[in-house]
């Protein structure tokens, strides 16, 4: 008998308890990095998302698109100003952000999921007031911090077997368009939905300890201690802050995992081994 078939059967057998565990669960996935950068990665990601829905999971995709925004700003010769490492979002820049995120980036993800047999629908946080924001800091211009998430609309989409794909834009009380950090938007959506999992796909294997090995399970208290000790540093700090905020807001757990690994979402949800760093309250 073909050994590959035996291995496939063994994998399905191992996955059964997890398929039962996540039936009816809500899983928010923040998509960025490698999976967005290659056609092969996007196709693999889309297939995973469709499979998740087929086995009873309600997936929600929130995506970024920083490199695509940078490329378009360069093409249009629109300069960027930064305050404390954060881009000031002017009227001109937010128009480009909306064009890129809600346009080409969002629809590429929607198309990839639909090509695999899913029913994805593209949204931004402006649609039906999905994400209502406050201005983060006047110095940053039109950068928003989520205040309210319209979970009723997302629940309605789940009931229709649609997969929401959300561009991280929000709306203000006066109808302003706000640019939202993709991780922040994903965390707000996960918290509001009380998601069973928030999966933050990155370009690193997970949160690493003092010896450089990936820490597979962490509590909020451990995250805070590692940050105080300088072990969690640099670009991992906003990821872990997003995780802690999501958990405090109502999400059950957050996983920071390497989106470059094929089938990373499936490995995390449906195998004993999992993937990346699981963070709980």
Of the candidates 173, 192, 172, which has an alpha carbon nearest to the alpha carbon of residue 245? 192
- Could you give the C-alpha distances from 226 to 208, 209, 241, in angstroms and in order? 10, 8, 12
Tokens 């309250």 sit on residue? 281
| Residue 164 contacts residue 141 (beta carbons within 8 Å) | no
Buried b (16+ CB within 10 A) or exposed e, 241-255: bbbbbbbebebbbbb
Task: Please confirm, yes or no, whether 48 is among the known catalytic residues.
Answer: no
Q: Which of 127, 183, 196, 258 is catalytic?
A: 183
For residue 209, the tally of other CB atoms under 10 A from its CB is 14
Catalytic, out of 141, 239, 259, 276: 239
Is 126 in the active site? no
Residue 224 is among the residues annotated as catalytic for this protein:
no
Could you please report the per-residue DSSP string of 171-215?
E-TTS-EEE--HHHHHHHHHHHHT-SEEEEEESSSS-B-TTS-B-
Q: Are 167 and 122 in contact (CB under 8 A)?
A: yes
- Does the annotation count 127 as an active-site position? no
The residue count for the chain = 281
Is-catalytic flag, 239?
yes
Annotated active-site residue in 66, 103, 209, 274:
66
Which residues are the active-site residues?
Answer: 30, 33, 66, 183, 239
């Amino acid at each position: 008998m073909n050994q590959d078939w035996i291995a496939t059967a063994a994998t399905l057998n191992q996955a059964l308890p997890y398929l039962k565990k996540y039936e009816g669960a809500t899983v928010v996935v923040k998509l960025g990095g490698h999976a967005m950068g290659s056609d092969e990665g996007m196709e693999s990601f889309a297939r995973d998302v469709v499979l998740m829905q087929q086995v009873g999971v309600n997936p929600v995709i929130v995506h970024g698109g920083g490199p695509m925004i940078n490329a378009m700003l360069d093409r249009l010769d629109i300069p960027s100003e930064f305050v404390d490492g954060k881009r000031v979002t002017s009227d001109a820049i937010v128009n480009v952000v909306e064009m890129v995120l809600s346009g080409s980036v969002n629809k590429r993800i929607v198309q990839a999921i639909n090509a695999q047999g899913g029913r994805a629908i593209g949204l931004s946080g402006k649609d039906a007031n999905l994400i209502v924001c406050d201005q983060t800091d006047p110095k940053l211009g039109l950068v928003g911090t989520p205040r309210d998430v319209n979970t009723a609309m997302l629940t309605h989409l789940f009931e229709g077997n649609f997969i929401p794909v959300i561009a991280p834009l929000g709306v203000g009380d006066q109808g302003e368009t706000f640019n939202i950090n993709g991780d922040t938007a994903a965390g707000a959506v996960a918290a509001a939905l009380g998601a069973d999992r928030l999966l933050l796909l990155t370009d690193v294997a997970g949160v690493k300890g003092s010896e450089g090995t990936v820490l597979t399970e962490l509590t909020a208290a451990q995250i805070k201690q590692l940050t105080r000790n300088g072990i969690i540093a640099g670009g991992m700090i906003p990821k872990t802050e997003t995780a802690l905020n999501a958990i405090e807001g109502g999400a059950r757990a957050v996983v920071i995992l390497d989106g470059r690994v094929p089938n990373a979402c499936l490995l995390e949800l449906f195998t004993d081994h999992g993937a990346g760093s699981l963070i709980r309250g």
